[in-house]
Every structure is written in C-alpha cells, then in structure tokens.
C-alpha cells in the first residue's frame, strides 16, 4: 500500500523512530524501516521510504512471517488496504500529516 506525506518538516528517520519503526538500511534514495509486533520479529510492518523534496513517499506492507526459501522464494506479506495494515496507515496519516 502506498501513501504520500507532504510538507515533512522532520527528518524521516527521526519521525518514524518516534512511531516505533527501526531503520534497517538505505539503498540509493530508498530507506527501509520495520516495526515488529511479535517477540520473534514477526509479524511486522515493513516500509520503503523515499524523500522527494519535502514529500515522503511510503510503500508499506505487513510481513506475516519470515520469508521461506527452497525451490522457490515466498514472501508472506499483505499488501491490501484492510485489517491491521489499514489501521497502521490511518495511524501514520494522523500523526505525520
């Protein structure tokens, strides 16, 4: 799911840290953040953030469990605007906008 926060006045790392997210890594202009809500680190919200001027573009999904590897790679994520993911997006919008 994607959302855009315009007119960000705060550093995105600091803003998302206040909301419980941990910075993972940066690849080029894109930063990765996670917010686990299970003791094992899963399930967790996982987002990719890109800043363009003062606009923060967020691509967020819910990782239900760790990836599994074998003959094929499976990513156990939810991308739809429903359930826990929809609630998290509402929370982000209220606090960041």
Domain total of the chain: 1
Alpha-carbon distance of 22 to 12, in angstroms, equals: 11
Give the Cα separation of 87 and 28 in Å (integer).
Answer: 29
Q: Where is pLDDT greater, at 96 or 64? A: 96
Domain with 92, as residue range(s), is 2-96
pLDDT of amino acid 38: 79
pLDDT, tens digit, for every residue of 56-85?
A: 999 999 988 776 555 554 555 555 676 888
Q: Is 38 exposed, middle or buried (0-12, 13-18, 19+ CB in 10 A)?
A: exposed
Global confidence as pTM: 0.83
What does the alpha-carbon distance between residue 6 and residue 31 come to, in Å, rounded to a whole number? 17
pLDDT, residue 79, reads: 56
């Amino acid at each position: 799911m994607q959302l855009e926060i315009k007119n960000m006045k705060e550093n995105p790392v600091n803003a998302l840290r206040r909301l419980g997210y941990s910075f993972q890594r940066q690849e080029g202009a894109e930063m990765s953040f996670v917010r686990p809500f299970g003791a094992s680190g899963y399930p967790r919200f996982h987002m990719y953030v890109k800043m363009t001027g003062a606009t923060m573009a967020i691509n967020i999904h819910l990782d239900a469990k760790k990836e599994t590897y074998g003959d094929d790679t499976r990513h156990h994520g939810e991308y739809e605007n429903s359930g826990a993911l929809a609630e998290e997006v509402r929370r982000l919008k209220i606090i960041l906008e």
